Amino acid sequence: MTHPATRRHSSVSDEESGGGVRPFWSGTITFGLVSVPVNLYPATRTNRAPLRMIGPEGEPLSRRYYSEKTGKDVEADDMIRGYEIDKDKFVTITDEELERLAPEKTRDINLTLFVKEETIPAVYFERGYFLSPAGNSEKAYKLLAEAMKERGDVGIATFVMRGKEYPVAIFSDHGILRAETMRFPDEIRSAKQVGLPETPKTNAATVRKFETLIKKKAKRTFTPEKDQETAQLLKLVKKKETKTSNVVQIKESDKSEGKVVDLMEVLKRTLAGKSK
Amino acid sequence: MAARAIWKGDLKMGTAKVSVKLYSAIEDKTVRFHILDSGRKRVKQHMVEPESGEDVPDTEIRKGYEIEPGRFVILEESDLESLKPKASRDIEISSFVPIDAIEQQFYERPYYLGPDGDANNYFALAEALANQEREGIAHWTMRNKTYTGALGAQDGYLILSTLRNAEEVVSAAQLPKPAGTAPSKKEVELAKHLVSMLEGEFNPAEYKNEYRERVMDFIAKKAKGHAPRLSAVKTKRQTTSLDSALAKSIESLKKGKRAA
């Protein structure tokens, strides 16, 4: 389900009261009768250099919502969520209703199945998160991480996070529990649905030709690529910065309050047990 | 109904070339809501001057990159145009890595590849990848964006998944291990036993999006004017010790198996 406009994925926001950083989701992992309270933080971030919209006087602009009918701005508190059942006809639904509609068993990550790590096809994986122990659960947390590591297993469950249900796989990764949200099978098309031709009998010589090619270019490890596009953009920014007519400076008082929090710092702090 | 190809390209590895069509492998089933005002009318977005609240038309908006708080470098349309990658139909395969070499966190969006023209090479390549248990590392430019991807085989077909780049993924190896007491050897043995009792096959067909069904059902009922009452969410807490929770879990699983 889409979130209200005020929430953004992949961003970690600074808590207003200062100090701690709000987790993306908080809940409990259970296996058998053991429960492990955890906090969940994103393990991925967007790297794309954010571009701001600038007005004619060089001032950064704000995005506002306005009513299509009256043309007036609408405040966040006055906005409601609606599902369009007919053209321009909506059924409204509240946050509370959405929360209450989540099936009981999906409010926690209830690991009722463990599978071997390599048996999940890559098409299922959607996004990664790290889990940190919450509420004195360090021992139970480590117990699960250690047991899964020694068995070479990942735990499977479904759970609801921010208004959407996901199948989830819990990995033991360097002593840390990592959650990978997955897609439901009905969200992945079959080759038949796509309209691909039936697999024919292949020519053995052609297969061998490709196998030789694969072996020739075989490598043991995968090295993640650096983001070239962002690097290019930053290079251009640096070049333009030298000319003052390309630069605008806003007044001290207009600076945006939203402090950008470094995801890495958040994760380090929370795993060290320093952000409770 | 067959899907429409969203792009066409040529897989290139060494001297070999395989022409392919690209199809989305994902069908988004997310329940989409609209944001409405209190009069149940759709809201739209616009850009305003933060102080006066006055609307700024698109034609007067420029883009800026914030080099330090409050300091922006303006980028003109021509600047952004100059950053666009060169268009190409090539999907270059630079190397082949074992199927478990890429961590799950990197996989972003899968696409089916289908043969474009001659299908023999297409299916032979899929079979070769499956036999060798490897994935190709691919680079290509599609719709003004450059991509890195993993070319794999699934059930005899080629799948090209876009991969996140290095800056986008935090790896667990970069993080400190969680603080706190370690469990005892005995506890780990019990936990391993418990985990092994819950081992099984990954069978995706078992997973249904129950929440989506419930939300759609609730909306349908509400549309007819009789929304059911929903009970409040309760929270529960663990009361027993770790040791006894482990022992009790194993005991109850054993009983369950005997009964079955």
* Residue B6 φ then ψ, to 5°: -100, -15
Instruction: Report the first-to-last Cα separation within chain A, whole angstroms.
Output: 29
Question: Would you call A79 and B37 a contact, using CB atoms and an 8 Å cutoff?
Answer: yes
Q: For residues A199-211, b (16+ Cβ closer than 10 Å) or e, as one string?
A: eeebeeebbebbb
Q: Are A271 and A22 within 8 A, CB to CB?
A: no
B239 pLDDT band, cuts 50/70/90, is low
- The answer on pLDDT for B86 being more than 50 is yes
What confidence score (pLDDT) does residue A16 get? 34
What confidence score (pLDDT) does residue A6 get? 35
B59-63 CB contacts, 8 Å cutoff, 24+ apart: B60/A55, B60/A56, B61/A53, B61/A54, B61/A55, B61/A61, B62/A53, B62/A54, B63/A51, B63/A52, B63/A53, B63/A54
Nearest C-alpha in B relative to A186: B27
Chain B residues lying within 8 Å of A118, measured CB to CB: 99-100
* Chain mean pLDDT for chain B: 92
The token duo for A256 is 């945006």
More confident residue, B24 or B242: B24
Q: Are A136 and B179 within 8 A, CB to CB?
A: no
Question: Would you call A61 and B39 a contact, using CB atoms and an 8 Å cutoff?
Answer: no
Chain A residues lying within 8 Å of B120, measured CB to CB: 200, 202-203, 206
- pLDDT tens digits, A7-64: 333 334 433 333 457 899 999 999 998 999 999 999 998 877 789 999 988 888 999 9
The three-state DSSP-derived secondary structure of A21-87 is ECCCEEEEEEECCEEEEEEEEECECCCCCCEEEECCCCCECEEEEEECCCCCEECHHHCEEEEEEEC
Residue of A33, A106, A196 lying closest to B112 (CB–CB) = A196
- pLDDT tens digits, A204-242: 999 999 999 999 999 999 999 999 989 999 999 999 999
Q: In sequence order, what DSSP letters do the residues of B125-158 get, joined into one string?
A: HHHHHHHHTEEEEEEEEETTEEEEEEEEEETTEE
Question: Would you call B44 and A66 a contact, using CB atoms and an 8 Å cutoff?
Answer: yes
The token duo for A257 is 């309050």
